[in-house]
Amino acid sequence: MSELFANFLDYSANLPWLELIAMLLALAYVLWAAIGSIWCWPTAFFSTAIYTYIFYDVSLLMDSALNIYYLIMAVYGYLIWQKDSNQKNNQHSKSPLTIVSWQLNFHIKACLILTIVSFILGYLMANFSSAHFPYFDTFTTVFAIFATYLVTQKVLENWIYWIVIDAVSIYLYLAKDLIPTVVLFGIYIIIATWGYFKWLGLYKQRQINMHRTA
C-alpha cells in the first residue's frame, strides 16, 4: 500500500502539466457541447492547440494533424452556433439547441466510405511516414473529422461516433503512456453517452412541439 502511495506521489510530482491543462479544457468542451453551450468552441480551440503539439511530440502524426482541423472547426462551429442562436433570439424561441437526426442508411454509407479511406491512408502512413499505430491512428482521425462536422451541424448521432472513437483512442494513449489523456477519454465516453440521451430528449421534445404547432 505504501509503495502504491509512493508511486502516486512520484507520478504527481512529474505530472505533464501542459497535457493536464489540455485535458481540462477538452473536458470543459465536451460538457458544454452536451448541454448545447456555445462556450464549447472557445475551449475546444485552446485545448486542440495544445494537443496539436503534444501528439506531434509523441509521433502520433495523424492525431496532431487532426487537432489542426479541430482548430479550424472550433472557429466554424462557433460561427454556426452563434448564427443559430441569433435566429432563435429573433424568433423568441426557448429551445437551447436545434438538433437533427440523419437516417441510419446515411450513416451506414458514411461509415463504409470512412473505413475505406482509413485503410488507404493507414497504408500510406504505415509505409511512407514514421507514424506509430498508423491504422488505428488514421481510423480515429478520419472518423473524428466526420464526427466533428456532425457536432457543428447538431446531428444527434455524433455522440455514437464519439463513443467508438474514444474507445479506440484509449488504446493508443495507453500505449503512449499519456495517462491524463487516457483518463480524459474514459470520461469522454461517459459524457458522450450522457450527451446522446440529453440531445435525444431535446430532439424528441422538438418533434413533439412541431406536431403541436402543425
Q: Map residue 14 onto helix, strand or coil.
A: coil
> pLDDT averaged over consecutive 10-residue blocks of the chain (214 residues)?
54 66 89 91 93 82 82 92 74 65 96 97 88 87 93 95 95 84 88 95 86 70
Nearest to 33 by CA among 84, 94, 96: 96
Give me the residue spans of the domains in the chain. Answer: 18-213
Which pLDDT value is given to residue 28?
Answer: 92
CB 138 within 8 A of CB 118: yes
CA distance 212 to 214: 6
pLDDT at residue 8, as a whole number? 47
pLDDT at 115: 97
DSSP 141-171: HHHHHHHHHHHHTTBTTHHHHHHHHHHHHHH
Report the predicted TM-score, pTM, of the whole model to 2 decimal places.
Answer: 0.80
CA distances from 37 to 18, 40, 67, 138, 175 (A): 25, 6, 21, 30, 33
How remote is the C-alpha of 123 from its chain's centroid? 24
Residue with cell string 462556450: 39
Which residue in the block uniquely carries the three cell numbers 448564427? 83
